[in-house]
Amino acid sequence: MAICGLPPFNGFISEFLIYKGFFSGLENNIYTSLLFLGGIVGLTLTGGLAVFCFTKAFGIVFLGAARTNKTQQAHEVESSMLFPKLLIAIPIVGIGLGSYLLIPTIGSIASLYLPPGTVLHREWISPTLLSLSITLGLFVILVLILYVWRSMQQKSVTIATGATWGCGYPALTPEHQYTSTTFADNLKNLSLSLSGIKTHYHAINKEDIFPSEKRKYETHQVDELEKILILNPSKLFMTVMLKFTVLRSGKIQHYILYGLGFILIVAFLTIVNAL
Partner 1 sequence: MIPAALIILTSLLFPGIIVKVKARVSGRKGPGLLQPILDIIRLLRKGNVYSTTTSIIFQVSPLIYFATILFSIFFIPFGDAAGLISFQGDLFLFIYLLGLGKFFLIINALDAGSGFEGMGANREALYSMLAEPAFIILFGTFSMMAGYDSFYEIFAHWHLNSSTYLVLSLLASYVLVQIAMVENSRLPVDDPKTHLELTMVHEVIVLDNSGFDLGLIQLANAFKFGVFGALIANFILPEHQVLWIRALIFIGVIFLFAVIVGLMESFRARLKMEKNPQFILTLSSIAAIAFLVALIITNKLL
Residues between 49 and 88 that touch partner 1 (CB under 8 A)? 49, 51-52, 55-56, 58-60, 63-65
Scanning 89-97, 154-162, 209-217, 264-272 for contacts with partner 1 by CB under 8 A, the matching segment is 154-162
Gap between the Cα atoms of 253 and 269, Å rounded: 24
Gap between the Cα atoms of 208 and 32, Å rounded: 65
Phi, psi angle pair for 78, to nearest 5°: -65, 160
Residue among 138 and 236 whose Cβ is closer to partner 1: 138
Minimum Å gap between C-beta 165 and partner 1 is 5
Are the beta carbons of 56 and 184 closer than 8 angstroms? yes
Which residues in 160-219 contact partner 1 (CB under 8 A)? 160-167, 172, 176-178, 182-187, 189-190
Residue 29 lies near partner 1 (rule: CB under 8 A)? yes
Minimum Å gap between C-beta 240 and partner 1 is 40
Are the beta carbons of 93 and 136 closer than 8 angstroms? no
Q: Which residue in 74, 109, 114, 147 binds partner 1 (CB under 8 A)?
A: 147
Residue among 160 and 246 whose Cβ is closer to partner 1: 160
Residue 142 lies near partner 1 (rule: CB under 8 A)? yes
What's the DSSP call for residue 29? -
Q: Which residue in 111, 154, 199, 232 binds partner 1 (CB under 8 A)?
A: 154
258's CB contacts (< 8 A; 6+ apart) are 247
Which residues in 30-49 contact partner 1 (CB under 8 A)? 30, 33, 37, 40-41, 44-45, 47-49
Gap between the Cα atoms of 180 and 193, Å rounded: 18
What's the DSSP call for residue 229? I
